[in-house]
Chain A
Amino acid sequence: MHFDTNVVLPDPATGRDAYRRHARTWLRANLPMHMRADSLDYRSPSLDESRDWEAAMYRAGLAGMTWPRTYGGHGLSLREHLAVNKEVGALAMPESVSSIGKELAGPIIMAVGTEAQKQAFLPAILRMEHYWCQGFSEPDAGSDLARLRTRAVEEGGHWRINGQKIWTSGAAKSQFCLLLTRTGTVADAHRGMLMFAVPMDTPGIRVVPIKSIDGKESFAEVFFDNVVVPDSARLGAPDQGWSSAVRVLSIERATNRMYRPWRFECELRHLVQACKSDQELSSLLQDGYYQRRIGDVLCEIDGLKGLVECTVESMMAGNEIGARGSLTKLYWSECHQAFASLALSLMSHVNPTSSPAAQRARKTFTGAYLFARAETLYAGTTEVQLDVIAQRILKLPKDLT
């Protein structure tokens, strides 16, 4: 694949449209047809193809938007980040193969890492040289991280780690794990939490893939048996690192994959176009029932766009985002599940005589429907988000005051 990376980056001072225009032009000119899910030429990209594409996007000024220049970023604001995300969403391009690095590990390292750690890790994430995985969840600690058991013990300048992680996305391909451990016992609950950047080739780490509902092996169990890492792998002090990370996580919940509503709209258009390519499916679109469902999803998509844009404006004005990320997380996950159910019901009418585009779309959207089951689970389940909204936004009392 060849990408045009000889790009003069626009100056945001030249106008609000500068970055959106640049993103639109570059992405449309460079995204290969075989990486577009709405193209008949589509095939699942290999890891290397995805890596090369994302690295080219970075060189074209379309990744690492808000990261400081010192660490390889472009030093821009969330506004340019949002403008680019709208165009990323508008194309049916593959999901990032490095979202844990770019949207979780990177921002946390930026907040709690030493200067040496920032220099070592951050530019490599943007250049797509390192993949990261997230070692937070455990068999006994999903929504409730206070029950974390994986233990880190200091032994003369080193740390010895023992425990097990689960639901670790992308563990097999990752060079590093953002690992959450505890220094004391489970009785300490949220106290004594400590984070590490652990190289995945450290002896004692074992990755066991988990087959998910969509037939893929995108998750894994990760076992840590007497894994020894140097003190330089530690991210922040016990407690301090984790509490900073919690703040980063709440921002991430509100701002990660900001392109979602624009991508959902792109998927909805793909779905409708696939139906229109086939006579039988086309007639379904004349049905007021399907028209209404499509209209309802459109309203939800625009509402989600509103939440994302209001979040950006509020953060640009210097406001704390606090618990409001829970509103966005809950809404996007249910919005996309509603879309996926609609897509599955339309695609259920596809048969071997259907148009090639409809048959292609059936594969895509059946997969999307199955994967969407995870969307109300990861990054905080629906019930966790509802609790957060009730407790921290509505401040509903549990006792009489």
Chain B
Amino acid sequence: MTMHDESLRPEEFADAAAAAIADALGRGPREAAHVLAQAGLTGVCAPEEDGGMGLGIAFAVPIAHAAGKLRLPFPLIEQLLLARALAGSPEGEQLVSGDKIATIAWAGSLAQGMAGTARHASVSDWVLVPEANGAALVDLAGVVIQSDTALDPEFPQQWLALSETTVLARLDATATGALMHHARLLLASLVNGAADGALQASALYMANRVQFGRPLSAKQAVRHWLARMKLVQEVSMAAIQRALATNEYGQARTAHTALAGAITNAVFVLEKAIHLHGGMGFTWEVPLHYSLREVRKLDAAFGAGSLARDLGRSFIKAA
């Protein structure tokens, strides 16, 4: 894939991304990081001077979708966002090459001495933590990680004690704002990818599971649930595409509603997917539980519904 091919489109990048992610599945985190790096995914938005591909955030959206759909247990979107944000630094280069692994804490701050909800912190080298006027990249060596396994015993929610930390790099408010905008797009795409995978698995299973002499997909009640799942999954996709585009005046859009909506919609799809899989959906026999936990952890990271409430509050204030 050439980096200067102007005809390259994000959706055409999707298949290559999915193949690399499938290749990384089942490998240890270090090996996975190098597989993803070699396919260009960690550096998709990082500058070419750092070994990246120098592509826009639109190219990372299908990567995030595939990571959600294929249930990749690796902080890929965090890594590629940080590789872009730390452009031109040694840290940025090490993230592009996959020699280091980095994640992002969505909650807490340096000042609080506590940060949390960073995906896969225990396999990461670094974590980005919010601070007063931006964010700090903190070395995880020596940071005490407390795991909360209530929601997810496999990949628990983790809290980081940040009393004595080594700050490796800092992002100012502007850089942090840009990173958060891109993070909303990619997180929305990640959870929508998880919903897409669950919907496809459910539709396939319903078409093959015979009860009362016919496949369950013949039943109108089942067909209508699947149609509703398809509807909201398409809406999330459209909201993400809209947030990526500029308006008629060439102005960029925010991605707040895209993320809040995508989480709500993904929860709906995943809960219904588990329901439609019957008793099997309740077990570890099918991996739907992984996706539901993943989406619910992200929902928790952003205040479990607070995103929508904050949007409402801002709208009221501005009206």
A-side residues, CB < 8 A to B, are: 16-17, 19-21, 83, 86, 268-269, 272-273, 276, 285, 288, 290-296, 298-307, 309-310, 327, 330-331, 383, 385-387, 389-391, 393-394, 396-401
- Using A276-B319, A300-B261 as known contacts, say yes or no to A309 and B242 having CB atoms under 8 A apart: yes
Whose C-beta in chain B lies nearest to the C-beta of A23? B248
List, in ascending order, chain A residues with CB within 8 A of B215's CB.
397-400
- Using A300-B261, A386-B228, A390-B223 as known contacts, say yes or no to A295 and B214 having CB atoms under 8 A apart: no
- Using A20-B249, A272-B315, A273-B319 as known contacts, say yes or no to A399 and B214 having CB atoms under 8 A apart: yes
B-side residues, CB < 8 A to A, are: 203, 206-208, 210, 214-215, 217-218, 220, 223-224, 226-228, 230-231, 234-243, 245, 248-250, 257-258, 260-261, 264, 305, 307-313, 315-316, 319
List, in ascending order, chain A residues with CB within 8 A of B257's CB.
298-299, 301-303
- Contact status A299-B260, CB under 8 Å: yes
Give me 25 A-to-B residue pairs in the complex whose CB atoms sit less than 8 angstroms apart, sorted by A's number.
Answer: A16-B249, A86-B248, A268-B315, A269-B319, A272-B315, A272-B316, A294-B312, A295-B313, A298-B257, A300-B261, A302-B239, A303-B257, A306-B237, A310-B241, A327-B230, A330-B231, A386-B223, A387-B220, A390-B224, A394-B203, A394-B223, A396-B203, A396-B206, A396-B207, A398-B218
In the complex, what's the smallest C-beta–C-beta distance from A270 to chain B, in angstroms?
Answer: 9
List, in ascending order, chain A residues with CB within 8 A of B245's CB.
309
A contacts with B: majority SS = helix
List, in ascending order, chain B residues with CB within 8 A of A21's CB.
248-249
- Using A298-B315, A394-B203 as known contacts, say yes or no to A307 and B238 having CB atoms under 8 A apart: yes
A16 to B258, CA, bound (A): 24
List, in ascending order, chain B residues with CB within 8 A of A401's CB.
207
Extra A-B contacts (8), CB below 8 Å, given A302-B261, A394-B203: A272-B316, A295-B315, A306-B241, A307-B238, A387-B224, A398-B218, A399-B214, A399-B218
In the complex, what's the smallest C-beta–C-beta distance from B109 to chain A, in angstroms?
Answer: 23
In the complex, which of the residues A268, A269, A295, A330 contacts B260, with contact meaning CB atoms closer than 8 Å?
A295
Output the residue of B237, B250, B315 with the most chain A CB within 10 A: B315
List, in ascending order, chain B residues with CB within 8 A of A310's CB.
237-238, 241-242
A55 to B212, CA, bound (A): 59
A389 to B264, CA, bound (A): 21
List, in ascending order, chain B residues with CB within 8 A of A389's CB.
227, 230-231
Whose C-beta in chain A lies nearest to the C-beta of B234? A327
- Contact status A306-B227, CB under 8 Å: no
- Contact status A394-B227, CB under 8 Å: yes
Whose C-beta in chain A lies nearest to the C-beta of B255? A302
List, in ascending order, chain B residues with CB within 8 A of A83's CB.
248
List, in ascending order, chain A residues with CB within 8 A of B237's CB.
306, 310
- Contact status A396-B223, CB under 8 Å: yes
- Using A291-B312, A394-B227 as known contacts, say yes or no to A299 and B241 having CB atoms under 8 A apart: no
Whose C-beta in chain B lies nearest to the C-beta of A391? B223
- Using A299-B308, A303-B239, A389-B231 as known contacts, say yes or no to A16 and B226 having CB atoms under 8 A apart: no
A398 to B224, CA, bound (A): 13
List, in ascending order, chain B residues with CB within 8 A of A305's CB.
239, 242
In the complex, what's the smallest C-beta–C-beta distance from A277 to chain B, in angstroms?
Answer: 11
Whose C-beta in chain B lies nearest to the C-beta of A302? B257
- Using A295-B311, A302-B258, A386-B224 as known contacts, say yes or no to A20 and B248 having CB atoms under 8 A apart: yes
A83 to B250, CA, bound (A): 13
List, in ascending order, chain A residues with CB within 8 A of B207's CB.
396-397, 401
Output the residue of B235, B240, B260 with the most chain A CB within 10 A: B235
A21 to B248, CA, bound (A): 9
Whose C-beta in chain A lies nearest to the C-beta of B259? A299
A156 to B305, CA, bound (A): 69
- Using A298-B312, A397-B217, A400-B210 as known contacts, say yes or no to A327 and B319 having CB atoms under 8 A apart: no
- Contact status B264-A296, CB under 8 Å: yes
A295 to B237, CA, bound (A): 19
In the complex, which of the residues B214, B243, B312 contacts A398, with contact meaning CB atoms closer than 8 Å?
B214
A401 to B210, CA, bound (A): 12
A310 to B242, CA, bound (A): 8
List, in ascending order, chain A residues with CB within 8 A of B311's CB.
294-295, 298-299
A287 to B288, CA, bound (A): 35
- Using A390-B226, A394-B203, A399-B215 as known contacts, say yes or no to A306 and B319 having CB atoms under 8 A apart: no
In the complex, what's the smallest C-beta–C-beta distance from A64 to chain B, in angstroms?
Answer: 20
In the complex, what's the smallest C-beta–C-beta distance from B124 to chain A, in angstroms?
Answer: 31
